[in-house]
Amino acid sequence: MKKITFLLFLSFFMLGFSQDVLKTDYPVYDGTFAGSVYSQSFTFPTAADAWAGFANDNTNMYPMVFNNGGLITFKATTATDTEVRFLFEANPYPNNSPAFDVTVQLLASNDADHVYSVTIPAYTTADQNFNSAIFYVTQRDVTVSIKEAKIQTYASDGTTVEKSDFPVYKGVFAGSVYSQSFTFPTAADAWAGFANNNTNLYPMTFNEGVRLHSQQLQQLILR
């Protein structure tokens, strides 16, 4: 089995590197196929500060507006029943007011393909921009694995999806612990891999070239 493990890994494309940067994209490679295995884990350790969490690093999402509400969907696994929280702030701390959050109960009995969803209520102040999205695991020392996270905002009818965003909750702070792994098992097909699920990247053009950046690459294991 070949296993590649990335800790605190953030990759992004910068287009037009020979001149000015024209566009920056944040791929989300959690689309498995042909037997590949993906996992990203979030832990709120005993030693972490009470406010420890995981900030979204996909700044292309901002600003977010919830005049007509929205929906968060994701797949998750946990060994112990727990709760996760999604916080939306006007801006990152300290200028983070106003803010609101929604919570979701996770059950250990659910399988890895169970889709969780939580409604985002319509925000009372029209056209309020939110430029910070944070994810929390509320119980200490419980590891939660999440994939295929998506945040949708609705049009004026309250049901039509106006915008879909793909958060990248890799910004650790205050002692939170994040890890990510991509596995190419022996039993997988030869073409197994990991597709980008952030469809907001497309279409992509490379007329002026491209540069791939990987920040905070901490560990690489090949087996």
Query: Mind listing the pLDDT tens digit for each residue in 95-142?
Result: 999 999 999 999 999 998 999 999 999 998 989 999 999 999 999 999
Tell me if 117 is assigned to some domain.
Answer: yes
Tell me if 115 is assigned to some domain.
Answer: yes
Tell me if 65 is assigned to some domain.
Answer: yes
pLDDT value at residue 22: 62
Q: Which residues of the chain have pLDDT under 70?
A: 1-24, 210, 213-223
What's this model's pTM, rounded to 2 decimal places?
0.79
Q: Distance between the two ends of the chain, CA-based, in angstroms?
A: 6
Tell me if 45 is assigned to some domain.
Answer: yes
Tell me if 153 is assigned to some domain.
Answer: yes
Total number of domains in the chain? 1
pLDDT value at residue 134: 98
Tell me if 222 is assigned to some domain.
Answer: no
Tell me if 76 is assigned to some domain.
Answer: yes
Burial level of 157, CB count in 10 A (0-12/13-18/19+)? exposed
Tell me if 41 is assigned to some domain.
Answer: yes
- DSSP single-letter state for residue 16: -
Quote the domain boundaries for residue 10.
2-215
pLDDT value at residue 36: 87
